[in-house]
A and B are shown apart, each in its own frame.
Chain A
Amino acid sequence: MRKRDKDEFERAFRSAYRPVLQTVSLVLQDRGRAEEVTQDAFVRLYERWGGAVAYEHPEAWVRKVAVRDAIRRANRERVVPVVALVDTQTAVDRLPDLDLLRAVGALPPKQRAAVALHYLEDLPVDQVAELMGVASATVRQHLFKARSKLAERLGETLEEVAGDADR
């Protein structure tokens, strides 16, 4: 790879690595696995740099590869305790965060991915659909089901957070 291409790849890595890792962490509920999947997606991006991937936005391409791989893995893996994702020393001070991560972790992998891409990465539904390789209507359905389950599971937490905000 030419130096200029390598520099561009490194720039893309520095810009996209953390957000992609966060999304994949939320889908897999495991930081170590998330690093493997995210890094693997970037290895594949590196191999295609300057080739076919140039026709797509590289960050979108790597996000697509990583998210789809994460969904595949999450489908075949056991649920991992959510504390693997957060700093346990500060976890006691952040119970709403833990509740939220636990609740998202209990969703099916595709709903987790839709929630991560839409609410964490702030992507519109059409773009989430493109990344996940499904129809927009399917994404809306995933989000609707996810919101219903999360609202049910997080009922008390939502009230407490609303109460804190009012004070």
Chain B
Amino acid sequence: MPIDEFLRAGLPAALDDVRPDVETDLAVVLRRAGRRSRLRRTGYTVALVAAAAVAAIILGRGGDDSRGTVDPVAPLDEVQVLDSERGSADDPAPLETGRYAIPFIGAADNTPWGEVEVPAGWGQDRLLLATGPDLDPHLRRIELLKVTGVSTDPCNNGFMESVEGGVTATVKALTKQDTVRPSEPRPVSIDGYAGQLVRFHVPVGYEIEKCWDGESLRPIGVGSSWASVFPGWTYRLWVLDLDGDPVTILAAHGPDTTPTELAELTDMVEGLHFTEPR
């Protein structure tokens, strides 16, 4: 039989098992679209206010007002690369709303980057996203990390257990940690990559003075550096398997974070896409 003929007849038959539940999947798509729309709506408001301000300035200068209307979709479709030099932990630099491509700190050059939809009110502490300084009770913060070590006791400036063994080894080490009250891990998936989610909490009144620098806990190592967490913080770690290369998304929030703020934080993480490294 000629190969052309075999392919035309054989492929539809071979893929006959791919029979999705179309209505269920349609509901999934509509739900995801709705969630992304909520994130974008906040962005549109700011973009339109900014556009109105620019228009007012132009008109005030006697400028041409016939340049057409602002298309709110266009700027949000552009993906910007996060500038690693801007902002600090104490004073995050404000970010315009939009999509940002961000590398996983400590990862190899060929590790995919994360693409995050950033709504209004967020800034950057270099390659980390934050809404305010570390001790702001409404703080929300997102860190994309390549975790290389897990501290056995985050209060102690001591032993970091190396986690070369992938998601399972990382999660196992995390759930044995003292002080930070790890939850039971549960399976998750972000942008098609499976992994485990573990939630941690540091009590507000935790005696941080007794810890290694008197200010913070140090639960995970990232190369020669580490991630710091603070009393009152709740933080979640999504440890994902990128084809055998585990990466971690840390999403932290302060003690006074509202349900709406928390939902926005979760939407940002769950809406993350993996993209080619830049």
Asked whether any CB of chain A lies closer than 8 Å to the CB of B14, the reply is yes
- How far is A162 from B10 in the complex, measured between Cα atoms in Å? 12
Of B18-26, B78-86, B124-132, B155-163, the stretch lying at the interface with chain A is B18-26
Nearest neighbor of A15 in chain B, beta-carbon distance? B22
1/0 contact string of B238-278 vs chain A (CB within 8 Å): 00000110000000000000000000000000000100100
B42 neighbours in A (Cβ, 8 Å): none
Q: A133 → chain B, closest Cβ, in Å? A: 15
B29 neighbours in A (Cβ, 8 Å): 13, 39, 42-43, 46
- How far is A73 from B191 in the complex, measured between Cα atoms in Å? 11
- B residues contacting A by CB (< 8 A) are 1, 3-4, 6-8, 10-15, 17-20, 22, 25-26, 28-30, 32-33, 36-37, 40, 73, 112, 189, 191-192, 243-244, 273, 276
Q: Is the CB of B11 within 8 A of A116?
A: yes
A35 neighbours in B (Cβ, 8 Å): 20, 25
1/0 contact string of A27-59 vs chain B (CB within 8 Å): 000011111110110110011100110000000
Q: B220 → chain A, closest Cβ, in Å? A: 26
Asked whether any CB of chain B lies closer than 8 Å to the CB of A60, the reply is no
Contact of A97 among B4, B10, B40 (CB under 8 A): B10
Of A16-24, A124-132, A134-142, the stretch lying at the interface with chain B is A16-24
- How far is A144 from B90 in the complex, measured between Cα atoms in Å? 60
Asked whether any CB of chain B lies closer than 8 Å to the CB of A93, the reply is no
Most chain B beta-carbon contacts within 10 A, residue among A13, A14, A22, A90 = A22
Most chain A beta-carbon contacts within 10 A, residue among B10, B40, B73, B243 = B10
Q: Is the CB of A97 within 8 A of B8?
A: no
B17 neighbours in A (Cβ, 8 Å): 85-87, 90
1/0 contact string of A146-167 vs chain B (CB within 8 Å): 0100110010001001100100
1/0 contact string of A67-110 vs chain B (CB within 8 Å): 00000110011100000011100100010111011001000000
- A residues contacting B by CB (< 8 A) are 10, 13-14, 17-18, 21-22, 25-26, 31-37, 39-40, 42-43, 46-48, 51-52, 72-73, 76-78, 85-87, 90, 94, 96-98, 100-101, 104, 115-116, 119-120, 122, 147, 150-151, 154, 158, 161-162, 165
Q: Is the CB of A21 within 8 A of B18?
A: yes
Q: Is the CB of A25 within 8 A of B3?
A: no
Known interface pairs A46-B33, A119-B8; A14-B22 also in contact (CB < 8 Å) = yes
B276 neighbours in A (Cβ, 8 Å): 72
Q: Is the CB of B6 within 8 A of A161?
A: yes
Q: Is the CB of A13 within 8 A of B20?
A: no
A154 neighbours in B (Cβ, 8 Å): 3, 6
Q: A65 → chain B, closest Cβ, in Å? A: 12
Contact of B15 among A25, A46, A165 (CB under 8 A): A25
Q: Is the CB of B20 within 8 A of A17?
A: yes
- How far is A14 from B26 in the complex, measured between Cα atoms in Å? 8
Nearest neighbor of A101 in chain B, beta-carbon distance? B14
Contact of A17 among B1, B25, B73, B244 (CB under 8 A): B25
22 contacts between A and B (CB under 8 A): A17-B25, A17-B26, A18-B18, A22-B18, A39-B32, A40-B191, A40-B273, A46-B30, A72-B276, A78-B243, A85-B15, A86-B14, A94-B14, A97-B10, A100-B11, A101-B15, A120-B11, A147-B4, A150-B7, A154-B3, A158-B3, A161-B10
B28 neighbours in A (Cβ, 8 Å): 39
B112 neighbours in A (Cβ, 8 Å): 76
Contact of A36 among B8, B192, B244 (CB under 8 A): B192
